[in-house]
Structure 1
Amino acid sequence: MSLTDVVVLAGYLLAILLLGVFFSRKTHSTDDYFVGGRNYRGWVIGLSLVGTSISSVTFLAYPADAYKTAWLRYLPNLMLPVAIFFAARYFLPFFRRGNTITAYEFLEDRFGPSVRVYGAASFMIAQLVRVSTILYLISLLLFEISGLDPVWCIVLAGVFVAFYTVAGGIEAVIWTDVIQTLVLLFGGIACLWVIVDLLPGGLGQVLSTASEHGKLGFSEWRNGELEPVSWDLSLLSKTGTMMLVLGLVNWLTEYSSNQNTVQRYCAAKTEQEARRGMWVCALSSLPIWAFYMFLGTALYVFYLQFPVPEAAEMLSGERKAEQILPFFILSELPAGLVGLVLAAALAAAMSSLDSSINAISAVSVVDIYRRHLNKEADERHYLRVARGVALAVSGLMIGGAIVFYYADTKTLQDALTIIVALLGGGLLSLYLFGFFCRRGGAKHAWLGIAVTMLFTGWVILARNNVLFSAENMPFDLYYTAIIGNGLMFVVLWLASRRSPLRAQG
């Protein structure tokens, strides 16, 4: 990196730190720390939601997928507006009642305190694995930039994110997410600008070559070549229609039971502002995701025009495709732009880390500590506990990232997939049943949870060919979440048919 790049990157990081210090002076209660006084406008909430959801996947995985295959990964995202229309109309009013802070307060109102603890614990464990994974990915990028030992990269990045998040609370998280979203977008635009400028045919060459090679369609990589997916309704293979269904299930889950999202609902000034923020998120996220997919397509055309061994190895699978954008940044961008784009890469990751740290702290204090362990303390005590929990979560995140560094890739992917699947399976249906059905209580909810966890455990064993064979599964493992949610809803409905109706309200 040149001195100019170092100055640009350092300036960005310093600005983020100063925001954390500034907002720490405005935080006097847990309401300030978790929902910022409930006074945010919709556009701020929307851009913050974008920053929370994009993470390193947008910056690294989307370009990698488009570079190596096509645009199939983008297809589930098209269901985001449908999910938001449904969530804004039916889910949002439940979370805006009273002074709700977490997504799991609703579970107690509907099913009792034990189910609330289950929802809270599921979220915390899944998020700890997620933030450890993201921090580990950040360390790999920092290692490429600086040459520092990867463990030191993990520690330094973790401490940096922890400082402004622990100090500033949700206000620091929301405003840094807004800034990080803009930096991410500008960083990607800078990369595409350089590609188009260097190609002899410019943007037209990208479009024509990509179209000729089938890189702009919804295709899957099979037997060494791209094959367009079918549009059948089938659980046996990946089809375009089923990818849309999968996207709808995933986004409805995100907007019904994910604390990162629900916390933004509660931080908005009014229900109308919260609804506006949801639509700002959808209308911003879809073009940003499409842009980064197109960036991967442009990288494919660029390295067809200017072939190098490293890019060819990423295309063939000898190297990971996720390396393609960092490789381009470090080898092709001019001084100054490298610092800006690296800031964008860090922004993509930090905007997810800070949100999750604050969300875990909120769930720990509101759903566990304040609800069950210490109900009578004053606000200053709960605020100290909230900051202490955020600090502890940061330490666990750093430790988890170090564990992932010493583990192999399969262990990393399996740990994330297995834990999230086991604990979060069927959560969408639990909320949907609670929202729209007036029968059933805690025992019915726990029966549904138990059956869904057994089903998910069976799928995980089969996937790893333990006791069962994945080849004999009656569905593609990609659709486990769809089937798990369907199973949860059916069990809840059947088990609660003879229970009395609950009062409305």
Structure 2
Amino acid sequence: MNSTTILLLILSYFAILVLISFLTGKSADNNTFFTANKEAPWYIVAFGMIGASLSGVTFISVPGWIEASQFSYMQVVFGYMVGYLVIGTVLLPLYYRLNLTSIYTYLEERFGNASYKTGASFFLISRLVSSSFRLFLVANVLQVILFDDLGISFWQTVTLTVVLIWLYTFRSGIKTILWTDTLQTLFMLIAMGVAIYTVSEDLGISGGNILGYVLESDLSKMFFFDDFKSSNYFWKQFISGAFIAIAMTGLDQDMMQKNLACKNLKDAQKNMFWFTIILTIVNFVFLSLGLLLTVYAQQNGIDAHKDELFPILAKEYLGVGVFVFFLIGLIAAAYSSADSTLTSLTTSFSIDILGIQKKYDINKQIAVRKRIHILVSIVSILVVIGFKYVIKDESVIAKLLLFTGYTYGPLLGLYAFGLFTKWQIKDRWVPIIAILSPILTYIISVNSSKWFGFEFELFVLILNGGLTFLGLILIRTKQYQSA
């Protein structure tokens, strides 16, 4: 497939997204942009959240994990299920009871303005960097398979990518994203299915025997209880998965903004229930795809590993049809995460940092929100381009999960303290606690193997949240939360 055909395919895909934006953006205001007027069908939210949760990172990196880690990632996924249960039964009732647009408003009501600004700031940093990781991965792939041949540089690729996202989200924000995410999730799952079918056919595995083949393979080992010091140890990954889900979904404005677009709490909880089931199945299928790709590469003597495994096989060995669906699926996976990130960052910065709902009339709010949306897009471009000179050959998903342990930890500690204690705190000291906790976490983590014979890995999130919690105990007052 030549570069012109690929470019036309990408432009056609974005034309569909822009059309959806036009259809959903009529009479849009800030309520539409931030909450979709609380009219989103729960089943649309649940399905669309699959793509936003998986992203291009999962699409590329998870299949490439099999060779080194087998199916150990499912231990993290099973932990996610526990985390989502907490979200559905503890956090969603809280958010709906307080009728929140930004979930960080809770911190202001519970502790004060400094805690509120600290929580929102950590989200902004966390989501900006993690989303940029995801977008960087996809931009790199597009650069190799298309834009290098067209003589377009990496910074131009990134700029074009973000501008296209801005184009279909600037009018109605979350209302458009709920529908584009649904379409993008569908494309991603179709791409995964086509790849599995093609590879299994090439390996001589009939459709009905794929599951049996996967489960019988040595590469599908899922549970690791042998060495508690190992990064693959079951309880380490399971518990980490639960806290990652709570922090990266339940305490994340991006993910919760979609849940808060549902009509009521009952619909939001139904969304979380079905989302959990579908996401677990989809992750298992992605790992199965990774196993089949790994076996295919080994049997054919193909030197492709980690993040390069799926792109190289799709482009050079599995035929034009698979490559077309791979490309569409990759773009869909990337943009289902990136588009909602621009919207959630705009929402949080507008409401939490600038407080536009308290300062301006309706018309002024819309004008300010639009300018912030442009600013967030520009910053995202700069961050992704910056990653070009930072990330080398380590698995992107490993970097992503490790980084979020440092940035979501203070949020985890703040919400745990607010929900499970009645203490009030000296609010002005919260920013210092939130900064010191990740620093101490890093020092302990890098020395833990030498000091304790234990590697924290994904446990840094729990350590960081625990240190934040302890720091808040130190600055508690004699006052208690009012009933």
Same fold? TM cut 0.5: yes
Give the deviation of 1:113 after TM superposition: 1.1
Query: 1:499 is matched by which residue type in structure 2?
Result: K
* SS across alignment from 1:60: helix
Distance 1:304 1:161, change over 3 A: same
Structure 2 residue 380 is the aligned partner of structure 1 residue 401: no
Residue of structure 1 in register with 2:365 after alignment: 382
Alignment size in residue pairs = 476
- Residues 284-326 of structure 1 deviation map (CA, whole Å, 9 limit, x = unaligned): 2111111111000011222233223x23xx2xxxxxx111111
The within-5 A match list for 1:285-434 is: 285-308=279-302, 310-311=303-304, 314=305, 321-370=306-355, 375-409=358-392, 420-434=404-418
Q: Output the aligned Cα RMSD.
A: 2.8
| Preserved contact between residue 206 and residue 298 of structure 1 (Cα < 8 Å) | no
Structure 2 residue 225 is the aligned partner of structure 1 residue 230: yes
Residue of structure 1 in register with 2:267 after alignment: 273
Structure 2 residue 455 is the aligned partner of structure 1 residue 471: no
Distance 1:42 1:416, change over 3 A: closer
Distance 1:459 1:428, change over 3 A: closer
Give the deviation of 1:6 after TM superposition: 5.6
Please, what TM-score do these two structures have when normalized by structure 1? 0.86
Percent identity (aligned): 22
Residue of structure 1 in register with 2:113 after alignment: 113
Give the deviation of 1:379 after TM superposition: 1.4
| Preserved contact between residue 198 and residue 322 of structure 2 (Cα < 8 Å) | no
Query: 2:461 is matched by which residue type in structure 1?
Result: A
Q: How far, CA to CA, are the matches of 1:293 and 1:273 in structure 2? A: 30
Q: How far, CA to CA, are the matches of 2:139 and 2:243 in structure 1? A: 32
Q: How far, CA to CA, are the matches of 1:484 and 1:255 in structure 2? A: 17
Give the deviation of 1:470 after TM superposition: 5.5
Q: How far, CA to CA, are the matches of 1:198 and 1:410 in structure 2? A: 29
Q: How far, CA to CA, are the matches of 1:471 and 1:218 in structure 2? A: 28
* SS across alignment from 1:499: strand
For structure 1, the 5+ residue unaligned runs are: 220-228, 315-320
Residue of structure 1 in register with 2:101 after alignment: 101
Query: 1:430 is matched by which residue type in structure 2?
Result: L
Structure 2 residue 193 is the aligned partner of structure 1 residue 196: no
Residue of structure 1 in register with 2:250 after alignment: 256
Q: How far, CA to CA, are the matches of 1:357 and 1:494 in structure 2? A: 36
Please, what TM-score do these two structures have when normalized by structure 2? 0.90
Structure 2 residue 462 is the aligned partner of structure 1 residue 501: no
Give the deviation of 1:70 after TM superposition: 0.2
Distance 1:8 1:236, change over 3 A: closer
Residue of structure 2 in register with 1:159 after alignment: 163
Q: How far, CA to CA, are the matches of 1:416 and 1:303 in structure 2? A: 26
Residue of structure 1 in register with 2:85 after alignment: 85
Residue of structure 2 in register with 1:225 after alignment: none
Query: 1:230 is matched by which residue type in structure 2?
Result: F
Q: How far, CA to CA, are the matches of 2:399 and 2:145 in structure 1? A: 28
Residue of structure 2 in register with 1:214 after alignment: 218
| Preserved contact between residue 124 and residue 363 of structure 1 (Cα < 8 Å) | yes
| Preserved contact between residue 184 and residue 347 of structure 1 (Cα < 8 Å) | yes
Give the deviation of 1:483 after TM superposition: 2.0
| Preserved contact between residue 135 and residue 397 of structure 1 (Cα < 8 Å) | no
Give the deviation of 1:361 after TM superposition: 0.5
| Preserved contact between residue 42 and residue 268 of structure 2 (Cα < 8 Å) | yes
Distance 1:279 1:469, change over 3 A: closer
* SS across alignment from 1:267: coil
Give the deviation of 1:417 after TM superposition: 7.3
* SS across alignment from 2:103: coil
Give the deviation of 1:124 after TM superposition: 0.8
More off after superposition, 244-253 vs 130-139 = 130-139
Q: How far, CA to CA, are the matches of 1:502 and 1:347 in structure 2? A: 45
For structure 2, the 5+ residue unaligned runs are: none
Give the deviation of 1:427 after TM superposition: 1.8
Query: 1:388 is matched by which residue type in structure 2?
Result: R
Give the deviation of 1:155 after TM superposition: 1.7
Residue of structure 2 in register with 1:222 after alignment: none
Q: How far, CA to CA, are the matches of 1:175 and 1:255 in structure 2? A: 19
Give the deviation of 1:279 after TM superposition: 1.4
Aligned mate of 1:150, from 151, 154, 158: 154
Give the deviation of 1:337 after TM superposition: 4.0
Query: 1:338 is matched by which residue type in structure 2?
Result: F
Distance 1:408 1:436, change over 3 A: closer
- Residues 434-458 of structure 1 deviation map (CA, whole Å, 9 limit, x = unaligned): 1232222344x845x6456434313
Q: How far, CA to CA, are the matches of 2:161 and 2:68 in structure 1? A: 29
Residue of structure 2 in register with 1:46 after alignment: 46
Residue of structure 1 in register with 2:472 after alignment: 492
Query: 1:173 is matched by which residue type in structure 2?
Result: I
Residue of structure 2 in register with 1:456 after alignment: 438
Give the deviation of 1:5 after TM superposition: 5.8
Give the deviation of 1:416 after TM superposition: 6.3
- Residues 229-280 of structure 1 deviation map (CA, whole Å, 9 limit, x = unaligned): 3267x57754111211111111121343110122123211111111111112
Structure 2 residue 266 is the aligned partner of structure 1 residue 283: no
Give the deviation of 1:117 after TM superposition: 0.4
| Preserved contact between residue 4 and residue 335 of structure 1 (Cα < 8 Å) | no
* SS across alignment from 2:480: coil
Q: How far, CA to CA, are the matches of 2:395 and 2:296 in structure 1? A: 32
